Amino acid sequence: MSDKAIADGAERAELWKLTAAFAAGAVILHLVFGWKGLPIALACLSGIALCGAAFFSRIGHDISLVFGLIALLLGGVVSRVVIAAMYFVGVLCFGSVLRLFGMDRLDRDFQKCRARPTMLTDAPASPVESFRRQS
């Protein structure tokens, strides 16, 4: 069996799996959550994948490329949603809880800072031996 035939068989198998996954997702979203729009879109994608798997010998590799582009677009959207959720949980929620309990390490006394003639201070002097050890 040639490498092309093996690759075609693998792509066809992936399209069958994609058909089943989209169909199962559509059924679950409709029955469990009662949604209508997204299950219809998933059912359409399932139908496209089914046609691609059934007529793979005529359509060929192009149908896999279409689903690759769809996956690329969905991956970009999901990545942005996950990053936004991580920011919300990690920074906003956690930081707000810390601030609520007085754990703000960046607490600023603006009146005290305004009273100073300058915010710039000289660095503490260090002996030459200390400098040589660091470099």
Contact 81, 65 (CB under 8 A): no
pLDDT digits (tens, 9 = 90+) for 47-106: 988 888 888 878 777 887 888 888 888 889 889 999 999 998 888 888 888 778 877 665
Give the pLDDT of residue 95: 80
Give the pLDDT of residue 11: 84
Residues 6+ apart with CB under 8 A from 22: 42, 43, 45, 46, 49
Give the pLDDT of residue 101: 81
81-114 in b/e form (b: 16+ CB < 10 A) is eeeeeeeeeeeeeeeeeeeeeeeeeeeeeeeeee
* Rounded-to-integer distance, Cα 116 and Cα 135, Å: 35
Give the pLDDT of residue 21: 92
Question: Does 99 map to a domain?
Answer: yes
First to last CA, the chain: 64
Count the domains in the chain. 1
Structural domain containing residue 38: 3-103
